């Protein structure tokens, strides 16, 4: 029996697990086997839009994109293994965390989806942070809700259900108004002991609801929290048609709790145990450190969220990372095309990233800001991408690319310095995301930024969707009381291949010099926002 024939039998027998993740630029579906190896995948590119002052995606694009990604995965299965994909052992969906999706009693969407990228909730976030004595970032669902209350938006009175993108897709596929605790921790503060929303803060917020004259209760509006490994419903007949309009996919498939991309990133990097951390670098960049003990106080630059199992995590999240790098590389590609060069996109990216390592560690007097949108870590509600330099700067391609890659993680460094001052200790830091696709280069820059070695695993290219599929496998295959951390270490990552890269002392010193100049140059970015 060939390997393909054996795998075909596994697929036909439903001994596989499906994860679908809605990232900021790509929807991806990944199918794995019981050994957590990738059997097939499919993807769909999409982009957010700025409409009516809000970054958003249409719900039509959400489900059309899911269908396209799944159809490509199913076609991949048929072509590679010669069998149709009719069922899987379990599945789950994950998506960008945070944001605002509010519905009435008839499940009508009351306002266009407001994503994590919006920085329109500063007033609400500040008031809630002071009221709770707990940092509530602008991205969080409760900040969006309270800002809508403060603005007296007409739809607020009709709200009966509030959720995230993953929570909503899960509801449409299963009929269950639930959410994974990791994703839920980006909606409302969590009690990591009782694995519930914080009761004291719920009561405090309900007072605001009543004072504002609304008749709903925040406890009934939020989705029910579930931890990794808990059953979260089954694929309904309508849900099966929503995923696969051809009708080939059967209903009845068990679902694990829907999660956020931060949670699936932790799973995909084996970073759910205390003293482990991961950094995800793509359209946005965020680092997550699983804590041994609570921080001494709250910081507006640090979010307190949880792992998919509910353990407390310190998260530094920055809205901007690779988008401006992508724009500059496309520009350099246009120049190459104008000169008659022929190349593919991968070669272009690899070449430009490799060029960065030839640049000076302090970027040679070149300064860039990658702020396409606002950046809460540096207190900016809007962004203006900038590149400027000293008159005597070494204005070379290498230094320009080094500056772009360094700037992409500069805001993260500012937030991480707070955790360093809190003496948060790590045994391992693992990276994943597009920033690390050029082998060793993003790792080198990130290691200089974080002053620690950075590891990238062979599974990093599959990322969050693979992590979601692993959570689906955990639902079905865990033994009694087996913690997620043990399942990952013993069953998923034992023997996994990885590469660890450390910055040199010179590179770390160069990054420190750049970040000092970057911090001083924030005044230039602020002036650009004011003036243009």
Cα dist. 469→17, 21, 40, 53, 239 in Å?
5, 9, 12, 35, 18
How much is the pLDDT for 432? Answer: 86
How much is the pLDDT for 293? Answer: 87
Cα dist. 502→41, 265, 268, 342, 449 in Å?
32, 21, 21, 34, 11
How much is the pLDDT for 47? Answer: 92
Range 260-320+413-500: architecture per CATH: 2-Layer Sandwich (3.30)
Q: Write down the H helix ranges in 13-121.
A: 59-81
How much is the pLDDT for 461? Answer: 60
List of residues 6+ apart from 165 with CB closer than 8 A: 22, 57, 62, 95, 96, 99, 101, 113, 115
How much is the pLDDT for 287? Answer: 94
The SS3 of residue 381 is: coil
Closest CA to 165 of 230, 258, 49: 258
User: Are the C-beta atoms of residues 339 and 391 closer than 8 Å to each other?
Assistant: no
Q: Write down the H helix ranges in 365-487.
A: 397-408, 410-421, 441-450, 463-477, 484-487
| Spatial distance between the Cα atoms of 33 and 492, rounded to a whole number of angstroms | 11
| Spatial distance between the Cα atoms of 453 and 501, rounded to a whole number of angstroms | 6
| Spatial distance between the Cα atoms of 120 and 239, rounded to a whole number of angstroms | 33
| Orientation of helix 3-12 relative to helix 59-81, angle to 10° | 140
Domain extent listing, the chain: 260-320+413-500, 326-411+506-531
Spans of the chain, pLDDT less than 70: 1-5, 459-462
User: Are the C-beta atoms of residues 135 and 68 closer than 8 Å to each other?
Assistant: no
Burial of 344 (0-12, 13-18, 19+ CB in 10 A): exposed
How much is the pLDDT for 460? Answer: 62
346-360 pLDDT, tens per residue?
999 999 999 999 999
């Amino acid at each position: 029996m060939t390997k393909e024939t054996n795998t075909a039998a596994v697929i036909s027998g439903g001994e596989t697990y499906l994860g679908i993740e809605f990232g900021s630029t790509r929807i991806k579906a990944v199918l794995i086997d019981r050994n957590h190896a990738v059997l097939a995948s499919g993807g769909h590119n999409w982009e957010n839009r700025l409409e009516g002052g809000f970054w958003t995606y249409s719900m039509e694009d959400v489900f059309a994109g899911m269908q396209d990604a799944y159809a490509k995965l199913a076609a991949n299965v048929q072509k590679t293994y010669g069998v149709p994909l009719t069922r899987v052992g379990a599945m789950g969906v994950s998506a960008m965390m945070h944001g605002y999706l509010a519905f009435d009693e008839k499940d009508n969407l009351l306002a266009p989806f407001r994503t994590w990228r919006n920085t329109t909730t500063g007033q609400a976030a500040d008031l809630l942070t002071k009221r709770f004595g707990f940092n509530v970032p602008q991205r969080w669902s409760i900040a969006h809700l309270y800002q809508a209350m403060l603005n007296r938006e007409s739809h607020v009175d009709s709200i009966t259900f509030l959720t995230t993108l993953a929570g909503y897709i899960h509801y449409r596929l299963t009929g269950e108004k639930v959410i994974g605790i990791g994703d839920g921790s980006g909606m409302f503060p969590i009690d990591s002991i009782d694995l519930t929303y914080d009761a004291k803060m719920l009561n405090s917020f309900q007072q605001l609801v009543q004072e504002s004259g609304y008749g709903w209760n925040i406890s009934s509006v939020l989705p029910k929290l579930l931890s990794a490994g808990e059953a979260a419903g089954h694929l309904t007949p309508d849900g099966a048609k929503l995923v696969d309009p051809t009708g080939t996919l059967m209903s009845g498939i068990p679902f694990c709790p829907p999660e956020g991309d931060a949670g699936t990133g932790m799973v995909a990097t084996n970073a759910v145990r205390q003293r482990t951390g991961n950094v995800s670098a793509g359209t946005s960049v965020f680092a997550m450190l699983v804590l041994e003990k609570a921080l001494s106080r709250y910081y507006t630059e640090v979010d307190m969220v949880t792992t998919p199992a509910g353990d407390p995590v310190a998260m530094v999240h920055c809205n901007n990372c690779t988008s401006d790098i992508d724009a500059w590389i496309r520009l350099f590609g246009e120049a190459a095309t104008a000169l008659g060069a022929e190349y593919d996109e991968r070669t272009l990216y690899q070449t430009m990233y490799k060029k960065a390592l030839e640049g000076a560690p302090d970027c040679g007097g070149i300064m860039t800001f990658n702020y396409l949108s606002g950046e809460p870590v540096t207190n900016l509600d809007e962004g203006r991408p900038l590149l400027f330099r000293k008159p005597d700067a070494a204005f070379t391609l290498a230094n320009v690319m080094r500056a772009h890659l360094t700037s992409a993680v500069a805001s993260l460094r500012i937030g991480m310095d707070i955790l360093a001052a809190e003496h948060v200790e790590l045994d391992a830091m693992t990276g994943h995301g597009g920033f690390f696709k050029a082998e060793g280069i993003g790792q080198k820059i990130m290691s200089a930024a974080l002053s620690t070695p950075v590891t990238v695993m062979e599974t990093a290219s599959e990322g969050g969707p693979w992590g979601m599929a692993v959570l689906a496998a955990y639902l079905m295959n865990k033994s009694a009381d087996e913690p997620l951390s043990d399942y990952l270490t013993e069953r998923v990552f034992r023997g996994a291949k990885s590469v660890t890269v450390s910055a040199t002392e010179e590179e770390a010193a160069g990054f420190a010099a750049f970040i000092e100049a970057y911090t001083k140059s924030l005044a230039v970015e602020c002036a650009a926002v004011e003036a243009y």
